[in-house]
Chain A
């Protein structure tokens, strides 16, 4: 799924980048605290992946897919469903700037 979205990104590059450009990293840090209740910094086994250090465009593409319910998971659909573009861009900026798990 992620690979498909990454390749999709190449064609839709400007949309994701426009959303990232709307972001504010300090806002992303605040909003990102909600993600940290479930997404462990060190990455996870099978259930919940790490999002630390995730590429910003991939992050935006995934959140848009959850927001439009093209990707399944009721928790993520709920979380993404109430985020506007500025908030998604802020989160993408914040998480892409963190170290990836070892």
Chain B
């Protein structure tokens, strides 16, 4: 098959089905093979950089079940009504057509690390020389009594982007006037530390316009949270009296959730909700467990390369990895992917391998033109990924600075999604 037709074929533009034809690794013969599992900020970036920087010298296959990927980052901005749903959706045509990445839209179900093969849901195998696992999170539903996958449409977690986030937006828009919205953030560690509090801000912004007498109660399993001072000052300023944050020590723990009566039982009180968002504890995506690269809920990595501590031919990126001081964010995953891509290319093609350097910035929108940010740079130390320097928005920032932060975040979104998918 010619290079062009193979690319078109793999993007799904050709009519044939993937599973009926030979896998790309076979048709490409002796090229070193990289398989990437997961097409998010870690996996898409890794696939793109390995393909781009090796100029066709490495055969890259990206396994991602979805043909359209909705980013978790900026899903809160959609919830606040600042963007439409379509604007956070992306496809993989750029990776396939511009970079020659072979797309396989299936679930990876297991990994034979001895034979170096990934087993797909169809039963087909993909052989690899190096494997990248970037599966994001799975939710530990059973850590909250009464919560489960069966009731998640009634009380969306919306902590994986896509239809859950749309559902939550609808429930916010349709909540009765003067009703109560209950938010249950997850315990540490979890994807996107400031995310639950930005989400509350965005829902409050929506209520301020469409349901001004509504209340928001946050039943937190923690006693403090990311950018707490900045969020609380912003809530006081923009949404006075609307938001009540209740710490774990104050409510004494969430004992039970009743999805039909919409009641949240704590030591302090039983809270009755008219709409809710419940985000349970998390762990690395299931394929990481199937590959055996986890230690408990998450996957230990080598800080200098993002290689799994369990298998030098496997790299674990993003939320699934134990990056310690580096938060579980799309920005972090994108940054880690570049270190891994450089290391993998070096191992497979002899290209130069440079020192690991990582960075992260998280922007959070509190209200229109009031955006705060926190970030840090990191190095790959001997024991862990170490913080090199860090910054956080200041309480006395000018309104111009906060507005500029929001503009910056929009451009960052355009930048990182191009860096993943183009």
Contact = CB atoms under 8 A, between A and B. Distances in A.
A30 B414 CA distance: 21
Given A48-B408, A74-B375, A37 B415 contact: yes
B389 A36 contact: no
Interface in B398-418: 404, 407-412, 414-416, 418
Contacts of B359: 34, 37, 78-79
Interface string A70-82: 0000110111011
Given A37-B331, A47-B409, A78 B377 contact: yes
A40 B390 CA distance: 23
Contacts of B408: 38, 47-48, 75
Contact of A37 (B53, B373, B410, B416): B416
A15 interface: no
Nearest to A74: B391
Contacts of A37: 331, 334-335, 359, 412, 415-416, 419
B407 A45 contact: yes
Interface string A59-102: 00000000000000011011101100000000000000000000
Given A34-B359, A37-B331, A45-B410, A78 B415 contact: no
Contacts, number: 87
Contacts of B422: 41
Contact of A38 (B354, B404, B415): B415
Contact of B407 (A39, A42, A47): A47
Q: Among the interface residues A26, A38, A39, A44, which one has the most CB atoms of the partner chain B within 10 A? A: A38
A35 to B, nearest CB: 9
B7 interface: no
Given A37-B334, A78-B390, A79-B377, A47 B410 contact: yes
B388 interface: yes
B338 A75 contact: no
B3 interface: no
B411 A48 contact: yes
Contact of B388 (A45, A47, A48, A82): A82
B33 to A, nearest CB: 22
A30 B346 CA distance: 12
A29 interface: yes
Given A29-B53, A45-B410, A82-B377, A40 B389 contact: no
A33 interface: yes
Given A33-B338, A34-B338, A41-B418, A82 B411 contact: no
Interface of A: 26-27, 29-31, 33-34, 36-42, 44-48, 74-75, 77-79, 81-82
Interface of B: 49, 53, 331, 334-335, 338, 342, 352, 354, 357, 359, 361, 373, 375-377, 388-391, 393, 404, 407-412, 414-416, 418-419, 422
11 contacts: A30-B342, A34-B338, A34-B359, A40-B415, A41-B422, A42-B418, A45-B407, A45-B410, A46-B411, A48-B411, A74-B375
